[in-house]
Every structure is written in structure tokens, then in C-alpha cells.
Structure 1
Amino acid sequence: MKDRSIHILNFVGLGFFEPAIRLAAGEETKKNLIALLKKVFLPVLSVGLFLILWHAGATYLYNVEKDFKIERAQEASGDAGVTLELQRIESGESSINSLPSPGAVLDAFKTLLADHRSITAKKAAFKEKVAATNAKREEQGLDPIKYTGRPSFVDQIFTSLKTVFAGFFLALFLAVPVGIILGLSSTLRSSFNWLIQIFKPVSPVVWFLLVYMIVKTMTLSYNGDVSFIISFIAVGLCAMWATLVNTTLGVSTVDKDYINVAKVLNLGVGQKVFKIVLPSSFPLIFTGLRITVSVAWMVLIAIELLSQSPGLGTFVWEEFQNGANDSNAKIIAAMFVIGIIGFLLDRLMFTVQKFVTFTEEAAA
């Protein structure tokens, strides 16, 4: 049981919990206590230190803005103005939009979850209300009546995940085949390298504008979600370059002995690619795919903001424009959600890489 647990943790990239498993099994207590201290307790301590510094910084910034408002009120209306301003600050009428504290961010996250539950209940009630009508419309070949209220924070998370996975698979299906072709031919590789080097550093904003120009013309008669199409294509084009470069490198550096074996066995091009080249290139290809997932998730927010796709990018921008008392806290809450999801996506790719390559690579 112990070895199986350790194997699973290492497989999914959570090997830093291994000392805790060994300690629970009574194995080398002193050694595993030290390892647990380094790998678990010290990181937890650093999180605690981060929260303390964050709280102190947020309190300082809050007081700076509060003192400024009070000073302005004193200059304008004297002590009566100060009293009124303090009352307005306490009631929330006079908002202080500085860095929110950790407690405020936690409260904002709870508010977002409560809002999600409320919207989910409204959706269920609406669906039940129009069920009979939609059944009749379906019989008549008409589109069903859909809920058109605003999406919740959780709905926007799933929209962003759908977009980033669509963009990732687009990048995969574009970059890997092209990378294999370029890796197999030094002539093609040198011919198209200039193109890769020019397009690789292009900003996601520029890719979005390019995709927008093309897609808006190609979808003039399309009634579906054009913003989603624009978003995932732009994400895929921004993120594909790491996979393309790593696939090309992996294929071009396959051990020549393997290629000679393929010649001796008279393998065709397809057999050589799938039985020799790809298995040998998988470690580098998956390194590129892990970078692609990270890049896709990073550029997604900016692209969703520009395309008005109802994902996390739009959520962050709307909260920034909203300017409510808890808007800043909601933005920070979204920032942590974005970071945690990015980490989980990387762990997912790491696990898939271990399944496919069967390497003993340590978690990065």
C-alpha cells in the first residue's frame, strides 16, 4: 500500500508528499522528518509568511487612501467633513479601492460561490418553466428557448477551460504534424525556419486581430458563438510554437541507429514515423505540449477580454470596470483561481507524459 501510494504521488507530480507516506509507515523517522520539513512544512510556512506580508501591505495601502480622503475632507469642510467622510467610509458609500486583504478576497470568493448557487437555481427554475414549451418547439423543428441571464463565476471558469482545451488541441493538430515533417527534412527545416522565428514572438493581441479579420468574414451567415471560435483559434495560434519547435527538434535528433534499424527492416515512411520517430521524440514533444498549455492559459485571459467571450478574461475586465467595493477582491480571487487551474493543467500534462513516455522524470 505504501509503495503504491508513493508511486501514484510521483506519477501525478506530487512526489513532495512521499516523506509523509514513509513517515506514516514508520520508515527512517529522522530522515523523513527532515525531508517532510523541507518539502512540505517550509513551503506551508512560506505561504503563511506571504499571507502576513500581504495583509500588512493591504492594511498600509488602505490606511494611506483613507487618510488621504480624510485629509481632503478636512480641507474642504473641517471637522464636520471629517466626521461625514468617516461615516461614508464605514458604510461603504465612499469606497477605498486599494489592495484587498486576504480576508476580503476569501469573502469575495464565498460571494462568487453563493452567486453561482443562486444563478444555478434560477437556471433550473427557468428550464422547468419552459420545458413544455420547448418540447412543443422541438416537435415543430424550432430551436429551444434558452436561459439568457448572466453566467456565474463558475460558468465562466468552464467557458475558459473549454476555450483553452479547444485552443490546445488546435495547436496540437497543427504543430505536431508540421513539426514531424520539418524534423524529417533538413531542407524544409532550413526553408521554413525564418517563418517560425518571425511568427513565434507575435503578441496575442495581434493574433487575435488577425483571427478576427478572417473569422468575422467567414462566419457572416453563422448564428452560433463566433466569440468562442475567434478565442480558441487565437489561443491555439499563440500557443503552438513551443510544440512546433520541440517536435521539430525531437524528430531531427532521433538516434541515427534507430533510423538505420528502420532501413534494415525496410519500414515504410508511416511505420518509421509511428514506430521509431514518434516514440523517440515523445519526451521533447510533451515538454513542448506542457509549455503550450501554460502559454494557452496565460494568453486566454487577454484574448477573452478582447473577444468578449464569457470567460474569466471578461469577468476580470467587467469587475475592473464595475468599481464596486468588492470588485478588487473578486479580481484577486479570480487571479488565484487562474493560477491554481494553470498549475493543475500542468500536472495533468505531466501525468499524461508519464503515461505515454514511461520515463522516471521528476516533477518539475
Structure 2
Amino acid sequence: MKQSVTVVQDEKGNFGTMVKDFVIKLIPAMPKWNGKTLVRKVLIPLASIILFVGLWHVGAKALYNIEADYKIQKALTDQGQEAADQMAACIASGDVSCQPNTLPSPAQVWTSFNTLIADHKAISADKAEFKAKTAALNAKREAEGKAPIVYTGRPSFVDQIFTSLKTVFAGFLLALIIAVPVGVIIGLSTTLRNSFNWLIQIFKPVSPVVWLLLVFMIVKTMTKDSESDSAFIISFISVGLCAMWATLVNTAMGVATVDKDYINVAKVLKLGPIQKVFKVILPSSLPLIFTGLRITLSVAWMVLIAIELLAQSPGLGSFVWEEFQNGANDSNSKIIVAMFVIGIIGFLLDRIMLTVQNMVSFNKNATA
């Protein structure tokens, strides 16, 4: 009995030693958070957030008071003191019918965000109920070779976010497929670079609205009598054509500036043209290519809102425009929610591209 207890104690001792050794090895690898580092990396960013929200709240309150005073004064001028008193009482009561419609406060924006999430849950429940009710009928229609009955209700805010993400990734993929091969071909030849430089310089600054109109004319002609989603097609092609130029220019520059020693090694090894491109030129050009792709993705996300708005694609652009046209008391709050969502997603997309760049090109010096 004593022997078994001793064995257990030894095992516990060995486990404790292992944990102790692990912690000792881990501590040097962990950042040393002294007081100065804590202030610089935690407290100051937190203070900047509090300052931003505080200034936003104060500014929203000031604008609210200005608009409220204007409404009361206008009622006094147009209808007299009694109407002005009624307007002041209505504003003080919080009645949405007479509230000043100006910059919303942070609390109003948070409330609108929760409203949008609750609305998404309600729409998701409606979709699930509709799918359950039509499951048998759709199975029968599928057996008969007919198209299934689909849910045609309005999309939620979250659905519109995913629509925008789908559009921007399709546009980004189109830009990559066009810009990288063309950039490699142009970069390999000084004559081609000089010949096509004028075209790049002319089309690069063209507004997304112009690209949208051009794509609209072509796609509408090509998709007549087609059941495909022309709004999505128009949107992602316009996004790709607007955003591809940074990747095209950076790819051509990266290929053109490959170290001549690498080219000479490829000649010594008697690599064919395709092997030289994939084994020497592209690996050497990856840092510049990925820099172009990061810019392309950022531009694609920025122009997407305007393009979706004009193409009537059910994404974030459509959401912002509908809320602006709606003019309801909480519309401004919902627009600001969309603004924050757009900014956060844009930041995350850039971080994802930077991470992929570091993984693929091993460029340890790549920074924001």
C-alpha cells in the first residue's frame, strides 16, 4: 500500500516538474508588460476610444439641441406661442413624430444595432418556417422538373452583409484573374510595358460609376431572356474592373524588377519560359503582387457601396440608400451602424490579406 502511494506521489512530482519547466520556458517568450508598455498599448488606446465616444455624444447632443430650438422657433414664427409650446412639450416627451432628425448619439446607434440583429433573427425564423412549409411541395416540383418555390421576403441586414462580401470576393477574384497574368506578360517585356502604359494610365482613374454604366450596357445585352442575377453580375464585374489596376501595375513592376542574377540562374539551369515564370519570377515578385492585391481588395470594398447602390444589388449599398430614402427617426442610426460595419470589415479584409502575404511570400517585414 505504501509503495503505491509513493508511485502516485512520484507521478505528481514529475507532472509538477513538467508544468514548472513549461512555465519557465514560456515566460521568456511572453512580452514583458511593464507600466510603460501597459499605458502605451492598453490605456492610451482605451482612452482614445472613450474620448471619441464622448466627443460624439457631446456633438450629437449639441446638434439635437440646435435642431430642437429651430423646430420650436419655426412653430412660434409660423403658428404662434401655443404651437411652439406644444412642439417643445412633444420633443420633451420623446415622441418620435416630432424628434429632431440629426446626428444620432452612441446610445441610439447601439439600440439600432440591436434592432437590426433582432430583425435578422425574426427574418431567419420566417425563412425556416417557409422552408418547412414548402419542403414537400418543392420535392414534388423537383421530381416534375420544375423550379422550386423560393423565399422572396426582404433580406435582413446580416443577409445584406453576406451579399456584399460575396460580391466583393467575386470582383476581387475577377481582378486577380485579369491583372496578375496581364501584369506578368507586360512585366516581361519593356516594349509591351511602353505600349500598354497609356491604356493603364487612362483607365486607372475612371470613376466606378462610369465602369458600372459600361458594364450595365454590355451585361444587359448579353443576358437578355436569361434567369441569371444580372444585378450581381453587373456589381462584381464593375468592382473587379475598378479595383484591378493596383494589382496590374504592381505585378508588372515586380516582374520587371526581378534580380538579374535570378534570371541568369534560370538560364544556366535551362528552365523553359513557363518554368522560369513559376519557379523564379513569380516567387520573387510575390511581395509587390500581394501589396497590389491588398490595395485592390481595399479599393473593391470602398467602391462596392456606390456600385451596389446604382446596380440595385441587395447589399450594404442598397441598405444605406434605402435607409437614407426612408427618413425614419432611426434611419440615421442604422446608417452609422452600416458605416461601422463597413469600416470593421474593410480592416479585417486588409489584415487577412497581410496574413496571407506573410505566409506565402515569407516577407517578415510586411507591415500595415
Tell me if both proteins adopt one fold, taking TM over 0.5 as the criterion. Answer: yes
Using the alignment, how far apart are the partners of 1:244 and 1:39 within structure 2?
37
Task: Count how many residue pairs are aligned between Structure 1 and Structure 2.
Answer: 342
Change in CA separation of 1:42 and 1:229 when aligned onto 2, cut-off 3 Å: same
Change in CA separation of 1:217 and 1:44 when aligned onto 2, cut-off 3 Å: same
Q: Is the 8 A contact 1:23 1:29 kept in 2?
A: no
Change in CA separation of 1:362 and 1:22 when aligned onto 2, cut-off 3 Å: farther
Does structure 1 residue 254 correspond to structure 2 residue 274?
Answer: no
State the match for 1:154 in structure 2.
158
Q: 2:129 aligns with which of 118, 122, 125?
A: 125
State the match for 2:87 in structure 1.
85
Change in CA separation of 1:22 and 1:179 when aligned onto 2, cut-off 3 Å: farther
Q: What's the CA shift string for 1:239-277, capped at 9, x where partnerless?
A: 000000000000000000000000000000000000000
Using the alignment, how far apart are the partners of 1:28 and 1:363 within structure 2?
22
Amino acid corresponding to residue 344 of structure 2 in structure 1: I
Q: What's the CA shift string for 1:308-332, capped at 9, x where partnerless?
A: 0000000000000000000000000
State the match for 2:62 in structure 1.
60
**1:39-188 maps to which residues of 2 (within 5 A)?**
39-89=41-91, 90-188=94-192
State the match for 1:36 in structure 2.
38
Q: Which has the higher contact order (CA 8 A, sep 6+)?
A: 1
State the match for 1:16 in structure 2.
none
Using the alignment, how far apart are the partners of 2:183 and 2:191 within structure 1?
13
Change in CA separation of 1:271 and 1:24 when aligned onto 2, cut-off 3 Å: closer
Aligned-partner SS, 2:80: helix
C-alpha displacement of 1:85: 1.2
Q: What's the CA shift string for 1:8-57, capped at 9, x where partnerless?
A: xxxxxxxxxxxxx97995x6443xx3233223321221111111111111
Q: Is the 8 A contact 1:178 1:244 kept in 2?
A: yes
Using the alignment, how far apart are the partners of 2:32 and 2:354 within structure 1?
29
Aligned alpha-carbon RMSD (Å): 1.6
Q: TM-score, structure 2 length as denominator?
A: 0.90
Q: Is the 8 A contact 2:354 2:366 kept in 1?
A: no
Q: Which 5+ residue runs of structure 1 have no aligned equivalent?
A: 2-20
- Structure number with greater Rg is 2
Amino acid corresponding to residue 231 of structure 1 in structure 2: S
Q: 1:244 aligns with which of 248, 257, 262?
A: 248
Amino acid corresponding to residue 257 of structure 1 in structure 2: D
Q: TM-score, structure 1 length as denominator?
A: 0.91
State the match for 2:284 in structure 1.
280
Using the alignment, how far apart are the partners of 2:334 and 2:32 within structure 1?
45
**1:318-357 maps to which residues of 2 (within 5 A)?**
318-357=322-361
Amino acid corresponding to residue 204 of structure 1 in structure 2: P
Deviating above 4 A after TM superposition, structure 1's stretches of 4 or more consecutive aligned residues are 21-25
Does structure 1 residue 289 correspond to structure 2 residue 286?
Answer: no
Change in CA separation of 1:343 and 1:22 when aligned onto 2, cut-off 3 Å: farther
Using the alignment, how far apart are the partners of 2:32 and 2:237 within structure 1?
53
